[in-house]
Structure 1
Amino acid sequence: MFPIAYHPIYKHPLPEGHRFPMLKYELLPQQLLHEGIAEASDFFEPEICKIEPILNIHTEEYVNHLLNLSLNPRSARKIGFPLSAALVERELRIAEGTIVGAQKALTTKVSFNIAGGTHHAYSTHGEAFCLLNDQAIAAQFLLDKKFATKILIIDLDVHQGNGTAEIFQGNSSVFTFSTHGKTNYPFKKEKSDLDIAFENNTTDDAFLTIIQSIIPKLINEQKPDFIFYLAGVDILESDKLGKLSCSIDGCKKRDEIVFNLCSQFQIPVQVSMGGGYSPDIKTIIDAHANTYKAAKSIF
């Protein structure tokens, strides 16, 4: 149906307290197969990303410290996960999954990465569970290889894509658009090309009205030939780390708005799944599965 990047290391075991957020990476593929949303042949296992595309986004000093597990304690604490070779490998495979998926989307129109959406990774450091910025790396790869000339990044996670904003500051080939909770992390926001900060407890109507109005204008103004979409489900009212009040149905309608516009304007889109931290894992899986259902109904 459409390509889906997944590797068993996505669910890399972590110390107690870190395992729950990783559980969705194991359960979501199973759910997609169980519901018949995807077939086994849709999944591909990404290799370890080459260093060159990473160095086109992240500084050599930072990348070397990651690869050698030599980050200083303060930098390691900002990431939030205990640093290990397996964790770095996981990030390298996630980045490659987004690069390969983006190339596949040029033909299939849409592709997914079960993980990804590591938008808090800056050019010089990682933070908030993000080591390497997968969509930024893939966006620059498409530009460097002349697969795209103008890219729109649509980040509808509850947290601002602060790393992505920093990386592409002043880059006219990439337009960064982020919606997020006004009082959510990061508490010091970066400047995206366009930021929409929602008040606490924003509901479906307000959220959907805004994006339905803004995204078509952005497409008409920026004329992107490729879109990266970060589809975090932490906008849900039930989310532990979000402060918005969107419903499961509203979250799915959000995805449908994005996919309908990509289809209407015939723009390929790569989707990384981003955040989701509701206390009930079933809520997270259902919301993420709805993103795939929305794509399947439109493409």
Structure 2
Amino acid sequence: MYNPNLPLVYHPNYSFSFDPKHRFVVSKFARLKSYLEQQGLIGQNLHQGPVGHYADLELVHCEQYVRDLYHNELCPKAMRRIGIPWSKELMARTFTAPLGTYLTASLALKNGVACHLAGGTHHAHYDFGSGYCMVNDLAYTAERLIKEKRVHNVLIFDCDVHQGDGTAAMLTHNPFVFTCSIHCEKNFPFRKQQSDLDIGLDPNVSDHEYLRVVEATIHDLLEQLNPDLVLYDAGVDVWQEDTLGKLDISWQGLEKRDRIVLNACNQKGVPVATVIGGGYDKDHERLAKRHAIVIEQAAKI
């Protein structure tokens, strides 16, 4: 049975008309919401955050960078590094999603667990974007909650197949945020940053070894850090058929991974906010169902 009161966060501007052949599937957010509605997981538990503005992200990003990004004044090289063509709709989504992650974290602090139907833009750095990520919602949420004195310390537990390089770089000097990235070592980004804990896995690692690492790591970190909040990037690009992943994790392995992380937090009484992270698939409906796994698992707690 699913918990009908699991707080979910979504905004209609997350998806918009976009090239369906582009590797980054903009429609996946709306498709994810639609799938969750079909599964009976959405009702009065759906929350909508405010529309964001570039000024919001000046808390953690270079002011000039976010202003130039918003006004389409970045140089062509900088936009190529991001990998998504500029549009007003993209900017609306880009600056709204971090506020959605912040709202998700706020709901998790109140309810124990909450899930964002977006988020996990961990390749965004202080003054540049990269790998389809323009601003860093994880860094923004952690920094804002700490600044507001709503939490003392935060664990960012990133299980996307790609290292959370932007998050690591942006938070390297913050002693109150611990960044952990469990990723495929021989994958993007090819110039890694230093997280507080990096676990780089060999290509083709399968369920048994992967789940052993995830379980041992989350339990150890919760015990050592006793965080006030966990921000969990449940990237599904570790799946064996993902077009940008190089691991060999089954669908059932994804379910077990999310169950391990969520149950570990629940058992320790640590609030956890989830974001969907990366996932790439030519079958867009299947991708939405893959991103739904963490939400389905959270609804079973």
Normalising by structure 1, report the TM-score. Answer: 0.95
Alignment correspondent of 2:17: 13
The residue that corresponds to 1:181 in the other structure is 184
State which of 240, 244, 249 in structure 1 corresponds to 2:247: 244
Matched to 2:35, the amino acid is Q
For 1:40, the equivalent position in structure 2 comes to: 43
- Alignment match of 1:231 (pick from 231, 234, 237): 234
Q: Which residue identity lines up with residue 96 of structure 2 in the other structure?
A: R
Corresponding residue to 2:120 among 102, 108, 117: 117
Residues 222, 265 of structure 2: 8 Å contact kept: no
Equivalent residue number for residue 194 of structure 2: 191
Contact 2:155 2:179 (C-alpha < 8 Å) held by counterparts: yes
Equivalent residue, structure 1, for 2:93: 90
- Percent identity for Structure 1 against Structure 2: 37
CA displacement at 1:120 relative to structure 2: 0.4
In the TM superposition, structure 1's runs of 4+ consecutive aligned residues that sit over 3 Å from their partners are: 50-53
Query: In the alignment, which residue of structure 2 is the partner of 1:30?
Result: 34
Count of aligned positions: 297
The letter of the residue matching 1:289 is: A
The residue that corresponds to 1:262 in the other structure is: 265
Pairwise CA distance, 1:133: 0.5
> Which amino acid in structure 2 is aligned with residue 34 of structure 1?
Q
CA distance in 2, matches of 1:88, 1:95: 12
Q: Which amino acid counterpart does residue 26 of structure 2 have in structure 1?
A: M
| Equivalent residue letter for 1:274 | G
Deviation at 1:281, TM superposition (A): 3.0
Mapped to 1, the partners of 2:20 and 2:287 lie a distance apart of 20
Aligned residue number for residue 157 of structure 2 = 154
Matched, 1:66 2:69: yes
What is residue 49 of structure 1 aligned with on the other side?
52
Q: CA deviation at 1:45?
A: 2.2
Shift of 1:286: 2.6
Query: In the alignment, is the contact (CA less than 8 A) between 2:154 and 2:231 conserved in 1?
Result: yes
Matches within 5 A, 1:76-87: 76-87=79-90
SS of aligned partner of 1:178: strand
Q: Which moved more, 1:156-165 or 1:286-295?
A: 286-295
Deviations 1:84-134 (A, max 9, x none): 222111111101111111111111111121111100000111111111101
Describe the SS at the equivalent of 2:25.
Answer: helix
- Say if 1:252 and 1:287, in contact at 8 Å, map to a contact too: no
Aligned letter for 2:17? P
Q: Take 2:227 and 2:177, find their aligned partners in 1: how far apart are those partners? A: 9
Give 2:6's aligned residue.
2
- RMSD (Å), alpha carbons: 1.5
1:93-108 equivalence runs, <5 A: 93-108=96-111
TM-score (norm. length: structure 2):
0.95
Gaps of 5+ in 1: none
CA distance in 1, matches of 2:208, 2:284: 25
Residue identity opposite 1:23 in structure 2: S
The separation in 2 between residues aligned to 1:278 and 1:204, in whole angstroms, is: 20
3-state SS of paired residue (1:86): helix
Give 1:140's aligned residue: 143
Q: Is the 8 A contact 1:13 1:19 kept in 2?
A: no
Structure 2's unaligned 5+ residue stretches are none
**Corresponding letter in the other structure for 1:75:** A
